[in-house]
Structure formats: C-alpha cells, structure tokens
Chains A and B, each alone.
With several copies, the nearest count.
Chain A
Amino acid sequence: MIEFRVGADDFDAADLIARLEALGGGAVASFTGIVRGDDGLVSMRLDHYPAMTSAQISTLIDKAMERWPLLGVAVIHRVGLLSPGDRIVFVGTASRHRAAALEACGYLIDWLKTSAPFWKKEVFADGTARWVQARAEDDAARDRWG
C-alpha cells in the first residue's frame, strides 16, 4: 500500500491507520500534524508547487521504502485555508518491525518539512499575517538521517 495525496480536503486518519493495520505487518506508526491556535492564530493558508510536491513526495516514499522494510506508507498533506485544530499532515507506515515503522515515520515527516514545496502563511486575530519562517532545527532533524 502506497498512498499519497495533496489537497484541500480533510482526511480520515483512522481509516488510513486501519488500512495500514490490515496489511498484516504487526507494526503501524503514525504522525499527525495539527494547526496550533497559538498567539491568536485564526487561520493558516498553505500554498504549494503542485508538480514539484508530487514529485518530491513520491521520491521521498521511494527512499523510505528502500531504506526500511515497509509494507505500507501513507502521506497526506493538506493545502489551502486551515483553522486551529485542523489536521495539516499525516504520515503512516506499516512494517513487520516496530523500529522500521517508527523510524520511517520520523524520516518521512522530517524530510517532508524540508524538501516538499509547501509554504505556510499565518493570519492572526489582530489582522496581521505573516509567512512562517523556515527553522534551522528542521534542517538539523532532516540531516540526522544522513
């Protein structure tokens, strides 16, 4: 099972996890990223570069499957207007081995954050808006995968 989607629609994390569980591997890991309502954030807009996003996520999934014995990978990334509490991103992995499932999940989210062309703009209650700045610690998290 390989599934990736980029789009405006919300997704059913429970259904994705259930399908990863059904692959018979014994180990399913998942990560979900949710919009935080910190500092008076009222909404977030996610832009992306569609052709490149697809290419990058597809490559990323291939790399994860080469590196770990995975039975299934699901990567979902939302774009467009989101509110606090909305899911932004989901990564799910299934393997026969728990370490493989967990590590691949961490690898995919670290790389997604630094190599998939998404950009977040935050809008606050006072009317201000700002583009989120990339963080050096995200690059560091990615780089630990070698």
Chain B
Amino acid sequence: METLNILYFAWVREAIGKDGEQIEHPGAEMRIIDLIAMLKEKGAGYAEAFANPEKLRAAIDHAFVPLDCVLGHASELALFPPVTGG
C-alpha cells in the first residue's frame, strides 16, 4: 500500500493538534485542494485549519506547489500558512 505523509506547520498544526499523519495514498491524480476538502471532514480542528484554502500553501517533497497540483507519487505533502521567516 502506497502511503502519503502529511505534515502540518504553524497554525495549521495548532488547529489540527498534531504535526502530521500518514494516510493511504489517495492516488496520483488527486489534487491537493481536493485532498484538503476530504481532510476537512475529519473533525473540528481540521475544519478550522482548512476553512479558507486560499490561506494555505503546500509543498510536495520539499518544493512549493500550487494547491491545484496533483499529488503524483509524492511521499510527503506539507500544508501550512504563507511563510514568515527572515
């Protein structure tokens, strides 16, 4: 079974209450935005974290990607707010 590691950062992590989770890979054709819609149904924390997808950013295997990107055979997806370092 192919798996997908999802990582959460900043207020996404705080709302969901965990750093990340491993899920069954939803398929190479699944878009990130559609996966987010599925995750949103997993509970109140998820619903809060994913209430406004336009406030979210994503990285697949350590590279920024738009939310309408498909997962492909990525093994790591990260979901987080726009970065604020520096």
Taking Cβ atoms with an 8 Å cutoff, the residues of A that contact B are: 33, 46-49, 51-52, 55-56, 77, 88-89, 98, 109, 112-121, 131-134, 138
Contact = CB atoms under 8 A, between A and B. Distances in A.
B7 interface: yes
B47 to A, nearest CB: 18
A121 to B, nearest CB: 7
A119 B86 contact: no
Interface of B: 7, 9-11, 13, 59, 62-64, 78, 80-86
A119 B12 CA distance: 11
Contacts of B10: 47, 119, 121, 131
Contact of A134 (B9, B13, B81): B81
Given A51-B62, A117-B9, A119-B10, A132 B86 contact: no
A114 B81 CA distance: 12
- The listed residue with most B CB atoms (<10 A of its CB), out of A52, A77, A114, A131, is A52
Nearest to B11: A131
A77 B62 CA distance: 18
A47 B9 contact: yes
Contacts, number: 74
Contacts of A77: 85-86
- The listed residue with most A CB atoms (<10 A of its CB), out of B11, B63, B84, B85, is B85
B78 A52 contact: yes
A134 B62 contact: no
Given A47-B10, A119-B9, A131-B10, A52 B85 contact: no
Given A47-B10, A115-B64, A134 B86 contact: no
A113 B13 CA distance: 21
A49 B64 CA distance: 12
- The listed residue with most A CB atoms (<10 A of its CB), out of B7, B62, B63, B64, is B62
Contacts of A133: 82, 84
A97 to B, nearest CB: 12
Contact of B59 (A46, A117, A120, A132): A117
